[in-house]
Amino acid sequence: MKEWPPGVEPRVWKGTMPVQFLYTAGVAGERFFQTLKRKGVFLATRCEECRVTYLPPRIYCEQCFADLSETWRAVAPVGRVHTYTLVQVDREGHPLPSPEVVAFVRIDGTDGGFVTRLLDVPPSDARIEMPVEVVLRPPRKRRGILDDIIGFRPARGKRKSVQVSRR
Amino acid sequence: MAKPARVPRPIDAPPRLPLRGSPLSDEEFRGEVSTTPWTPKLEYGWDAGIAISRFLDGLKAGTILGVRCNVCGRTVTPPRAFCELDFKPMDAWVELSGTGTINTFSICYITWDMKPLRRPQIPAVIEIDGTTPRGGFLHHIGGVKGSSVEGIRKQLRVGMPVRAIWRKPDQRMGAITDILHFEPVKGRKR
Amino acid sequence: MRRALETGKELSYYAASQALETAGVRLKEIQAVVMATAPDAFDGVHMKGDWLLDGAGAVRKPYLRAYVGGGSGVFSIISGWTLVASGLFDLVLVVAEEKMSSCQPHPQGAFLTIFDHTIERPLGPNLLWIFSLEQHRYMATYGIRNEDIALVSVKNKRNALDHPAAQVAASLTVKDVLASEVVAWPVHRLMVSPISDGAAAIVLASEHVARRLCDKPVWVQGVGWSLDTSYWGNRDLAYPRYVERAARMAYEMAGISEPRRQIHLAEPYDPFAYKELHHLEGLQLADRGKAPEDLASGRFERTGELPTCPSGGLMGVGNPIAAAGLMKLCELFWQLRGEAGARQVPGNPERGLAQAWGDLMQVGTVAVLGVD
């Protein structure tokens, strides 16, 4: 059976995989999101040995496996644009009504950050290392999920440039 | 009903660390802890390939097809383009009969998402006559009365001869479901 | 447990960090990591082997994922063994994880894809069919009754009462098992292992490192694995010949010619009650069709001639798919060192076997462990 049998139509069978997912945030994530919801504050964890501050927080240091359960601390929800991109089309490839600026924001005083939208800034004004601050949903509308962060906007007022710890 | 489990006795052999983990009840999982839902859109179009495309054509025409390898001598169904034992193309197509034997069957009372079925399904592996040594595929048994395990087991046996019951020709589309089910052949003894 | 708050990473971390702590090894001394975790579709994370790796301590280390469905738990130690036995590494961490609770409405939605997409799924199959069809063929071939099989549920759930991580341990009778609802005859609900979240881990070391770290290391003496055709309707459902092939490979490596005498305890894979018996026959530890008789005579009890699933197995402890097999290896470790506490089989066992199964219902993975 080396060639296609004569007179036979190549057939395609269609189907799906019927799954939906419900993800827990984990021990660290649960505490992070509940605190974000109730107090509007970012929590991080820190490994002193490796000098790493984890945001989003973890209960273990990925480098030395130290248990970080007792190292929670609050950090100010401000940071800098580490990198950004201009998104012109949606997931299906249709043009967006106006381009969106999606950025990775590094939060000051940590080694982490968030992928987020840059708000209140015309795309042409977006800059790497631009200081930004978080925009959260109003307290009553928060649900303890990532969506409680609407985005980040340019920081109001002058700030000294902050030295971000490097590994 | 199962009796409730005893609390496990403390294990005293060293070295022992207490197990970590935070079990959640169904309520906590669905209402109290922070969860993120996501339904992925997983839609596929699977090419049937050489062998199954022709197999499906055969079903549409009311025939069960198999293939033969001249080296190992097997005639098998469902058909495949190459012999997986001798690693060479199959040598011939074989028209098999629409009869077979029950290799095994089950009486299933729940759906895949664990909901009860009113009428049980009777899946089976049917060895199709004409295959050697064992050319079976999955299908349903039909033409059986009643819904109880005892009642159904009185009508079916492993090793029982069955025959394919086909959809009407204009309702076939080239699918495994062109065979409605297999039914016990009345009056034939093995 | 049935559903954990922890993410898969956190579950992996618990197991991995505890393995390191009890071995007296620090993460930075680990040279490579093997992770066994079965379909991405359970946790719902694409490429989840790579996503889990920081919880498995594998950041910036050589890392590989062992993946043969349910067989992964034992395949993990086989893969880890090849890394050490090849001389490539001296100290390897092996971790296994599964978080099935994320998959809604039921992990069967992902399991369904085990059936052929074109010629099986249109029949509306249920994962239970694979097992009930196989169990019925096994029963019909050898004249085995459901009562004989139900004894496995009784034994394993009772053994699990002594396991600290047990999810479904219970004190039952055969009558209780057969009184539970028929899900897909001949399978009753109490003959099915549960859905679980869990993780397990072990530390593997080469000979000179092991002797330095540990007064009584448990050695991997033989490994074997084999996969059969995915055309499961073309297979002999009454006998798992792929388990036999995997076992023979492991026995040859371990220098075992009389497994029934030389293996002192076994942890065969028991996702369904009949499977333990089916696998024991494939493992050559019981004659074909005769495992139920051996079970009824007490041969497989903890105090019997060949204790099987002294841990409580999947039927008693739980079935986080890939982690279950590694759980069995952990049990062998404790048993062979005399540290299994209330679960300890008597008589100073020196050699044990763990076996896992799964994938497209056609993989056998076997490991033989022993002490000096």
A79 vs A106: CA distance, rounded Å: 5
C273 vs A123: CA distance, rounded Å: 62
Enter the DSSP assignment of C337: T
Res B165 pLDDT > 90:
yes
C neighbour chains, 3+ CB pairs within 8 Å: A, B
CA distances from B51 to A8, B57, B69 (A): 10, 10, 14
Tokens of B189: 């003894």
C60 vs C40: CA distance, rounded Å: 22
Q: What is the pLDDT of residue A166?
A: 43
Domain that holds residue A91: 26-154
- Mean pLDDT value of segment A131-138: 97
* CB-CB contact of C194 with C318 (8 Å): yes
| pLDDT tens sequence across C11-44 | 999 999 999 999 999 999 999 999 999 989 888 9
In a domain, A95, yes or no: yes
Res C167 pLDDT > 50:
yes
Q: What is the pLDDT of residue B26?
A: 92
Q: What is the ipTM of this complex?
A: 0.91
Which three-class secondary structure state does DSSP give residue C215?
coil
| pLDDT tens sequence across B40-54 | 988 999 999 999 999
A133 vs A151: CA distance, rounded Å: 9
Nearest 5°: the CA angle C170, C6, A66 is 115
Per the model's pLDDT, the better-predicted residue between B7 and C241 turns out to be C241
In a domain, B142, yes or no: yes
Number of domains chain A contains: 1
Mean pLDDT of chain C: 95
In a domain, B34, yes or no: no
Return the number of other C-beta atoms located less than 10 Å from residue A166's C-beta: 7
Which three-class secondary structure state does DSSP give residue B180?
strand
Calculate helix-pair angle for C273-282, C146-160, nearest 10 degrees. Answer: 100
Taking CB atoms and an 8 Å cut-off, how many pairs form between chains B and C? 197
Nearest 5°: the CA angle A129, A30, B7 is 155
Taking the Cβ of residue A62 and every Cβ of chain C, the question of whether any pair is shorter than 8 Å is answered with yes
Which candidate in A2, A12, A13 is best for mutational testing of the B interface (most B CBs within 10 A)? A13
Q: Which amino acid is at C92?
A: V
Which three-class secondary structure state does DSSP give residue A87?
strand
Decide if A20 and C55 are in contact by the 8 Å CB cutoff. Answer: no
In a domain, B129, yes or no: yes
List the B35-38 sheet strands across, edge first: B35-38, A20-24, C103-104
Taking the Cβ of residue A146 and every Cβ of chain B, the question of whether any pair is shorter than 8 Å is answered with yes
Decide if B22 and A27 are in contact by the 8 Å CB cutoff. Answer: yes
| Chain B environment of A8 (Cβ under 8 Å) | 50, 53-54, 57
In a domain, B14, yes or no: no
| pLDDT tens sequence across C131-164 | 999 999 999 999 999 999 999 999 999 999 999 9
List the B123-128 sheet strands across, edge first: B136-140, B123-128, B99-105, B161-166, B179-184
Res A164 pLDDT > 70:
no
pLDDT band at C113 (very low <50, low <70, confident <90, very high): confident
| pLDDT tens sequence across B172-190 | 999 999 999 999 997 655 4
Q: What is the pLDDT of residue C215?
A: 87
Res B79 pLDDT > 70:
yes
A133 vs A138: CA distance, rounded Å: 15
| pLDDT tens sequence across A16-55 | 988 899 999 999 999 999 999 999 999 999 999 999 999 9
Q: Which of C366, C360, C76, C85 is nearest to C226 (CA)?
A: C366
For residue B141, the cross-strand partners are B182
| pLDDT tens sequence across C120-129 | 999 999 999 9
Tokens of C319: 């079935």
In a domain, A17, yes or no: no
In a domain, B3, yes or no: no
Per the model's pLDDT, the better-predicted residue between B56 and B10 turns out to be B56
In a domain, A164, yes or no: no
Tokens of B14: 């060293």
- Please report, rounded to a whole number, the percentage of residues in chain C having pLDDT higher than 70: 100
Res C320 pLDDT > 90:
yes
Res C206 pLDDT > 70:
yes
Nearest 5°: the CA angle A28, A33, A38 is 130
In a domain, A130, yes or no: yes
Which candidate in C234, C274, C315, C317 is best for mutational testing of the B interface (most B CBs within 10 A)? C234
| Chain B environment of C163 (Cβ under 8 Å) | 8
A-contacting residues of B 134-163, CB under 8 Å? none
All domains of chain C in start order, with CATH: 8-104+193-370 (3.40.47.10)
Decide if C161 and B114 are in contact by the 8 Å CB cutoff. Answer: no
Decide if C128 and B108 are in contact by the 8 Å CB cutoff. Answer: yes
In a domain, A127, yes or no: yes
C166 vs C324: CA distance, rounded Å: 12
- Mean pLDDT value of segment C61-71: 95
| Chain A environment of C26 (Cβ under 8 Å) | 64-65
Number of domains chain B contains: 1
Which three-class secondary structure state does DSSP give residue C159?
helix
Q: What is the pLDDT of residue A18?
A: 86
CATH number of the domain bearing residue A51: 2.40.50.140
Domain that holds residue B76: 49-184
| pLDDT tens sequence across B119-134 | 999 999 999 999 987 7
Q: What is the pLDDT of residue B162?
A: 97
- Please report, rounded to a whole number, the percentage of residues in chain A having pLDDT higher than 70: 92
Which three-class secondary structure state does DSSP give residue B153?
helix
pLDDT band at C372 (very low <50, low <70, confident <90, very high): confident
Flag the least confident range among B1-10, B36-45, B163-172: B1-10
Decide if A8 and B42 are in contact by the 8 Å CB cutoff. Answer: no
In a domain, A21, yes or no: no
* CB-CB contact of C76 with C34 (8 Å): yes
Enter the DSSP assignment of B32: I
Nearest 5°: the CA angle C26, C351, C211 is 35
- Mean pLDDT value of segment C94-99: 96
pLDDT band at C202 (very low <50, low <70, confident <90, very high): very high
CA distances from A142 to A27, A34, A138 (A): 19, 10, 7
Decide if C234 and B134 are in contact by the 8 Å CB cutoff. Answer: yes
DSSP codes joined into one string, C2-19: -SBSS-HHHHHHHHHHHH
- What lies within 8 Å, CB to CB, of C24 at 6+ separation is C213, C214
Per the model's pLDDT, the better-predicted residue between B8 and C268 turns out to be C268
Res C211 pLDDT > 50:
yes
Res C340 pLDDT > 60:
yes
Longest Cα–Cα distance of chain B, Å, equals: 72
Res C281 pLDDT > 70:
yes
| Chain A environment of C103 (Cβ under 8 Å) | 19, 21
* CB-CB contact of A40 with A99 (8 Å): no
| Chain C environment of A19 (Cβ under 8 Å) | 41, 44, 103-104, 109-110
The percent helix, strand, coil of chain C (3-state, each to 5) is: 45, 20, 35
Taking the Cβ of residue B26 and every Cβ of chain A, the question of whether any pair is shorter than 8 Å is answered with no
